[in-house]
Amino acid sequence: MSQIIVQIREELKANADPQTMKSAKRYFKEAITSYGVKNSLMKKISHKNWCQIKNLSKKDIFSLCETLLSSGVMEEAFIVAEWLPKIADQFQQEDLVIFERWIDCYIDNWAKCDSFCNHTVGDFMMKFPEQVGILMVWAKSNNRWLKRAASVTLIVPAKKGLFLQEALKISELLLTDPDDLVQKGHGWLLKAETEKHPDEVLSYVMKNKLVMPRTALRYAIEKLPKEQKILAMKNSTTKST
């Protein structure tokens, strides 16, 4: 095992806090594996060790990242999510196959999914927008985390006004999905799109509100003006799951 991995794990263990671990578990329905390290300390550990590896090849950095992801430990996945956006300028189109495999094999809760996809995969899509079609494939997956990834990958681009039509297509594919974490993901994507395209999102919600799960609907309209929220919720008959 790489000495840097050993060092990271020793530092995480040294900063473990049982109360932080207990508090973190309240946010997940799934069992999680965590050292119980506060986010601010995790970021310091991440930055310190990044300084030691930043001049390695992308292949070597990817290898370290996969070792961390494969451990199943929350903080180690978060370090990967901190590191990879720093080399987004080195991403190549074939890296998407690796990212998809990592989500499929190693992502097992919403926090790992969001931290990895918001920036690493989101940055990839902004660099290679012609690859965005893969998200429609993910939205049809049997893996709930690939389905959530289809939405949350576009959160940051959406805030920049990008990928509106793709966001609407993904939402259409996930519209009646029964998984609440998938619902929250595509509702969050629609909410992000309201920053630049509020009228289009409102139109989409109004067209679909009778079948759109309440969880997704509430997320989607969160940042719309009050009168538009009232309009969107009026006569909506779906319920949260």
Secondary structure percentages of the chain, helix, strand, coil, to 5: 70, 0, 30
What is the pLDDT averaged over residues 106-123?
97
Q: What are phi and psi of 148, to 5 degrees?
A: -65, -40
Each residue of 136-169: pLDDT tens digit?
Answer: 999 999 999 999 999 999 999 999 999 999 999 9
Expressed in angstroms, the distance from the first to the final Cα of the chain is 43
What is the amino acid identity at position 58? K
pLDDT at residue 236 is higher than 90: no
pTM, two decimal places: 0.93
Residue 241: per-residue pLDDT: 45
Residue 240: per-residue pLDDT: 47
Each residue of 87-106: pLDDT tens digit?
Answer: 999 999 999 999 999 999 99
Q: 10, exposed or middle or buried, with CB in 10 Å at 0-12, 13-18, 19+?
A: exposed
Each residue of 200-227: pLDDT tens digit?
Answer: 999 999 999 999 999 999 999 999 999 9
Residue 105: per-residue pLDDT: 98
Tokens of 92: 């190549």
Please indicate whether the domains covering 1-90 and 93-241 agree at the CATH topology level.
yes
Query: Domain 1-90 is of which CATH architecture?
Result: Alpha Horseshoe (1.25)
pLDDT at residue 238 is higher than 80: no
Q: In the chain, where are the structural domains located? A: 1-90, 93-241
Q: Mention every residue, 6+ apart, whose C-beta is less than 8 A from residue 240.
A: 180, 213, 214, 215, 218
Each residue of 170-183: pLDDT tens digit?
Answer: 999 999 999 999 99
Residue 30: per-residue pLDDT: 86
Residue 36: per-residue pLDDT: 95
Confidence of residue 237 (pLDDT cuts 50, 70, 90): low
pLDDT at residue 17 is higher than 90: yes
pLDDT at residue 239 is higher than 60: no
pLDDT at residue 117 is higher than 90: yes
Each residue of 39-61: pLDDT tens digit?
Answer: 999 999 999 999 999 999 999 99
Report the top-level CATH class of 93-241: mainly alpha
